[in-house]
Every structure is written in C-alpha cells, then in structure tokens.
Structure 1
C-alpha cells in the first residue's frame, strides 16, 4: 500500500532505483546521496526477460535488496511501445508491493536533465524510422503536446510563440525551417542522470505521486487481426 505518511517521513538520503526499456536497451541504475551509476545493455529484443535479472544484479552489487529501496524512477517514453509497457508495468508493480513512490521520467527530461530547459526550447529525441519525438517548453511549463515528426520536413505548428531554439536529436536540421538556433546532441540512456532526476522528484514532491503512465505519443504499430475471432463456447 502507498506510504500514507509521505512526504512527512521521507528520507533526505533516499536509496534510488531506476530503469528504462523504452528503446533497444535495458538501462538500470540508482544509488544514494548523489552517488549514482548503473549499466546499459544494448538489445533489440528480450527486455522483458532481462530487466529483473539486471535489477537484481544492480541491487547485489550495491549491497541492497528491494526492501531497501525508497523511491523508483521509470522512463515513461516516448519510445518503443512494448518497451515502455514493460518498464512502467514493472515499476508500478514494485511500487505497489513495496509501498514506495514511483516517479515517471520522460525521455525529454532524460535528454536534458532537470527541466525546465531554457525558455523557448524545443527538445528533440530519436524516434523509429529516422524520425524524432519533439516537445516544446516555456519557462517552467510544457507547451503543446509531444509530437513525432520528420526532422527534414517538420510541421509549421512546431513554431513556439516566442524566440525558439532546438536542442537534441537532429536539432540543427529542424532549426533551419524556423530560422532558429539548433544545438545537436546525441541521445543515449543514462541511468546516473535518471537516478538524479528521480531523487530530485522525490525530495520535491508535495504528495505521494499517482502511478506513472506511459507516454506513447504514437500508437503501436501492431494492428488488430483481420480474421474473424472464433466464437467462445461457454
């Protein structure tokens, strides 16, 4: 059950566990007292089978058990549909079983650390099929909804209502279309940065957070079967 006395009894030096399976990898990490680390395993498939053994390995190396964890951070996307479901479901289950808070962290936060980024920023992270996920930010606020775009042909509605700069995946390519400044930066999973963000969310939270929700942006590629399903006989 959720900790009904949070945040009054939260620890100032929490033990943090984080994980991310939103792309072709399994990233697991954490730490405490600002000392964070982790591991990233590159893999196109098999995240579901690999996530918990990797978590167990990290905990063993840290000298912890799951019962020692005070807070969980999980990547909520955007990214691979199945991968996001794996990690968010695991985080929600662990949080419920342990009675500890679970904070969702978007890929935009993972790309640029503690949001907000500079006023008027469009953050871009990689998407499948040579596309990009983008999200606009103002001063401490999100602007609009995240989108998936072709960086070579971005839609005009990406223009923010003030001077804009683009940061991240293929940023300079996107920026050309808006006469804006672009700062290219390659995105890669970083468990240490993720743990730092999770700790900050934990220490700053005004209440026990709701369970994290996936941030898919785009629907899954899978489509319902076209064949008529068999009739179920009671």
Structure 2
C-alpha cells in the first residue's frame, strides 16, 4: 500500500510559531511556541524539530500549507516568505490558508472570528467578505484554535486544496507603521 502524502503546515500570524506534519489525516508531530517576536529565526528550526520527531526529512514532503492571516503584519510575511522559499527549493506546491479556513475545517458553516486590535475582531460569515466589528458583536463566533492545532488545521486544509498559486498575505487593514516623512536620498551616478 503506498504511503500517504506528507503535508507540512505552519503559522506565524499571531504571537506564536507553530508547525505540524500530517500523513494523510494522521498527525505525526506538532509543536508550538508562544512568542511576541523572533518567529523568523525560530520557524525553520521548529519545522526541523517536527520533521525529526516524525522521522522524516525535507525531501519527503509533498505539500506545504502556511497561515496567511489575518494577523500580525510581520508574522504573516514570515510565514508566506518561508512557504514560498521552501516550495521553490523543494519543488513542491505551497498553499496559503487563511485563519478563517482553518477555523472552518471542522464546520464549514461556522461564523469565524480572529482577534483584531483595539477591542475588535475580524468576522467572516460563510460566503461573505470579512468585516471588522466590535468584539462584543462577535456573538457565538469560533475563534482560532491553540497554535499547534492551528498548524494541524492549516496542513489539513492545504492537503485538500487544489490551489496552484503561491501563498499571499491576507491583509484586512493597512499596517500600523507610517511611511517616512523625509524625502528619499538622492542617488548620484558617477559613472
């Protein structure tokens, strides 16, 4: 009987770094660490630990799933860049999975919510675009699972996906950082 495809899922869209490895529907290994910063330095070593725990290597992966948000601007960029780079170097597809898709893995009709700044949440009704609402208006919405479970859900959604476009961040609002006020430096060409 042929072995089932190995699918890696990971997420850095919030204050965590998480990865999970699936063989078909079976979870082989998962790890998550709470962290406010440092995900860029920790993600690849964490993935290597998950692969080693499961007794597999990079070359055995069939597909990658990464969390695309909404969430932390820099965290999302870390996850997407890592997935694109790994997919290119390994010659396998990478799939972007939104937090809403991961939440809806168990219940496709769930009202999905993701915490947002300033006492608000991003709320996504099935078939509708996400909207920003006050947290108290979220009602009985489902919020993201713990980080290790989130990584598992991302891998499961990626395994079922037919997507063939590289993952891209899901930004629902502009970044908090403001562009610089100073004029850019003048570049002098002495050649």
Structure 1 unaligned spans of 5+: 1-10, 152-172, 176-181
2:104 matched residue in structure 1: 112
In structure 1, the partner of 2:124 is: 135
Query: For this pair of structures, how many residues does the alignment match?
Result: 184
Show structure 1 runs of 4+ deviating over 3 A. none
Check the 8 A contact 2:111/2:141 in 1, yes or no. Answer: no
Deviation at 1:12, TM superposition (A): 7.3
TM-score by length of 2: 0.87
SS of residue matched to 2:121: strand
String of CA shifts for 1:44-96, please: whole Å, max 9, x gaps.
00111111111111111122111110010111111111100000011011112
Matched, 1:95 2:71: no
Following superposition of structure 1 onto structure 2, how do residues 170-209 of structure 1 map, counting pairs within 5 Å? 173-174=136-137, 182-183=139-140, 185-187=142-144, 188-189=146-147, 190=149, 191-201=151-161, 205=162, 209=164
Which structure 2 residues correspond to residues 1-234 of structure 1 after superposition, within 5 A? 13-36=4-27, 37-114=29-106, 116-117=108-109, 122-137=111-126, 142-143=127-128, 145-151=129-135, 173-174=136-137, 182-183=139-140, 185-187=142-144, 188-189=146-147, 190=149, 191-201=151-161, 205=162, 209-234=164-189
TM-score (norm 1): 0.72
The structure having more radius of gyration, on CA atoms, is 1
Residues 126-182 of structure 1: CA deviation (Å, up to 9, x unaligned)? 122321011121xxxx22x2222223xxxxxxxxxxxxxxxxxxxxx316xxxxxx4
Q: What is the aligned-residue RMSD (CA, Å)?
A: 2.0
Unaligned 5+ runs, structure 2:
none
Q: Is the 8 A contact 1:109 1:115 kept in 2?
A: no
Q: Is the 8 A contact 1:114 1:197 kept in 2?
A: no
